Amino acid sequence: METLEALRLRIQACRRDSRWKSNTLSDIAFSLDNLTLAIPVIPNEIFLIYSEILSDAVLGEKPHTASFIPALFSDFDKLSDAQQDALLDILIQHASLYRSQIMQFSVGDIIARKYPCDIAIQAFKKMWESHNLHARNIAHFGANVLSLTLPREGSERNALRRLDHIMKMGSPS
């Protein structure tokens, strides 16, 4: 099993060298996920690596950066409340970096499925209002996931309808 320092060195190499194969990021995500298999709580040292990757302008554009989201999805309950809040902030603030549609869908999906509905809708609203194409794609994907998972009626569905109205008003005709 790789150490955190070895993973950091591989991540730095991915940032610096465009010749690295993109699946190297998938391998790093797999190794990072393996470090958390047998532990009940994600340590801040490991969460910091996720944070750095998801905040990095160079890595955010790479398609295989999406490989880090499934590990966070499956380990979401191992994150502290502060880490969950920080993750959401990172995903909102750096949504414009995520150019891959797989990454956009993955980010929309984790927000829609792992955060309370009102928080997810607020996150998607912020992304939509940023007027950035990539952030808007995330908001759209996430709203679609919510649409499939929420009951047909109720306050959460009404909030989603309001978001849908905002998104339709801001879309080109």
CA distance 117 to 34: 30
What pLDDT does residue 92 have?
Answer: 98
Q: Which residues contact 63 (CB under 8 A, 6 or more apart)?
A: 22, 100, 102, 103
Cβ atoms of 99 and 60 within 8 Å: the answer is: yes
What pLDDT does residue 173 have?
Answer: 42
- Tell me the per-residue pLDDT of 5-35, one tens digit each, with 9 for 90 and over: 888 888 888 887 766 555 588 889 999 999 8
Q: 98's torsion region: left (phi>0), alpha (psi -120 to 50) or beta?
A: beta
Q: Output the furthest CA–CA distance in the chain (Å, rounded).
A: 53
Provide the whole-model pTM: 0.91
DSSP 8-state code for residue 1? -
Cβ atoms of 136 and 123 within 8 Å: the answer is: no
Task: For the chain, give every domain's residue range.
Answer: 4-169
- Tell me the per-residue pLDDT of 57-104, one tens digit each, with 9 for 90 and over: 988 888 789 999 999 999 999 999 999 999 999 999 999 999 999 999
Token duo for residue 49: 């690596």
User: Environment class of residue 155 by beta-carbon count within 10 Å: exposed (0-12), middle (13-18) or buried (19+)?
Assistant: exposed
User: Environment class of residue 18 by beta-carbon count within 10 Å: exposed (0-12), middle (13-18) or buried (19+)?
Assistant: exposed
Cβ atoms of 117 and 80 within 8 Å: the answer is: no
Token duo for residue 53: 């990757």
